[in-house]
Amino acid sequence: MDELIDLLNSCINEGDAFLQTLGVSLDSILGESSTFDKLDAFRSAYDTVVANDESKDKFKVITNKMINLYEASKPEIFERHWDNEKFSPLAYIHGLLHNKIDDEKIQRARNRMTTVLDSSVTSATAEDKQREYAIHGTKVIDLSKINVDELRAEIKKAVYKAVEIDDLKAFMETALQKMISRNCTRQKFSQRFKGIIDRYNAGGSENEDYYEQLVKLLEEMQKEQERPKAEGLSEEELEVYDLLVRGKKLTQEEEQKVKLAAKNLFKKLTEEKTELLVVDWYKDDQPRMKVKSAIEYALNEDLPDSYDKDSFDAKTNLLLNHFIDMAIQGYGWIAA
């Protein structure tokens, strides 16, 4: 038991020291004469912790260990009348981090951001599903419904800015996952998102523009959601089109031919799905080559002459491997 308590005290000291590296002094917070002042100081400390992903993750590790050691020490720790004045402050911030404490002001901040973002989460209809990203069954994210000016205004006036930005980041991450699940070429948006976060976490020179970078990326994600409609393609056709044009410089006329190729390939594979995409078709040479032949036939009918033999073969293999990946992982229209 003595060893457990020593470990607990050591963990508390580690948490205290870590907060000091972030400019947060538990001694100063505990020295506040008013309970309300203490609570505001805890909220500010929490906002500081979540402002940086690395800080948030490290604080989680430290305080998760602290809570586990405390729980493991029960009930003997009560019998020994153990006390460490910095345990409760660390536990309070830990509770905020894990949504275990109902703090009115923090919840109000989260609710304001949620109000702006939830305007994009609606019930799905049959005609909407072509351009929206499904979540939780019948719910979809429709990014076009987010008022970006309202989002900017909310971030600007936020008291606990990092708390609201943390929720925005979580929302964008979910939206990006849904976007990429519909079109693998959208990985570039995820890479940009990660780059913005990584530069901020590393303390890059562009940190003053951090929030605006996130909002601008969200605006580009809105445009991307509308691109199938602008291109005159379905989400599924657009992914095929994007894979076909990637790395190619085409004229406007050639782009139209590639769009036709994407449309006709998608049509062929869906209309002949029961014959081509049989169970585990990707595991055996014969059904796999049958799918490859269908891809070659469809592309040969419509692709422009700028796709020479090497380019044609490369695109055929690219699409085949992508369809195999969809089938193996069980997602998208190939697996449906």
Residue labelled with tokens 């890479």: 191
Q: What is the pLDDT of residue 299?
A: 96
- The string of pLDDT tens digits covering residues 140-191 is 778 988 999 999 999 989 999 999 999 999 999 999 999 999 999 999 999 9
Q: What is the pLDDT of residue 120?
A: 73
Rounded-to-integer distance, Cα 91 and Cα 66, Å: 8
Ranges 20-24, 76-80, 99-103, most confident: 20-24
Q: How far is CA 130 from CA 136, 141, 158, in A?
A: 17, 12, 35
Rounded-to-integer distance, Cα 288 and Cα 324, Å: 9
DSSP 266-278: HHHHHHTHHHHS-
pLDDT band at 127 (very low <50, low <70, confident <90, very high): very low
pTM of the model: 0.81
Sequence-ordered alpha helix ranges (H) in the chain: 2-21, 26-30, 35-50, 53-72, 76-79, 87-97, 104-118, 148-157, 161-182, 187-201, 210-231, 235-245, 252-271, 273-276, 285-302, 309-329, 332-335
pLDDT band at 206 (very low <50, low <70, confident <90, very high): low
Sequence-ordered alpha helix ranges (H) in 246-308: 252-271, 273-276, 285-302
Work out the number of other CB atoms within 10 angstroms of the CB of residue 175. 24
Q: Which has more pLDDT, 107 or 253?
A: 253
Q: What is the pLDDT of residue 1?
A: 76
Q: Which of 141-145, 275-279, 300-304 has the lowest mean pLDDT?
A: 141-145
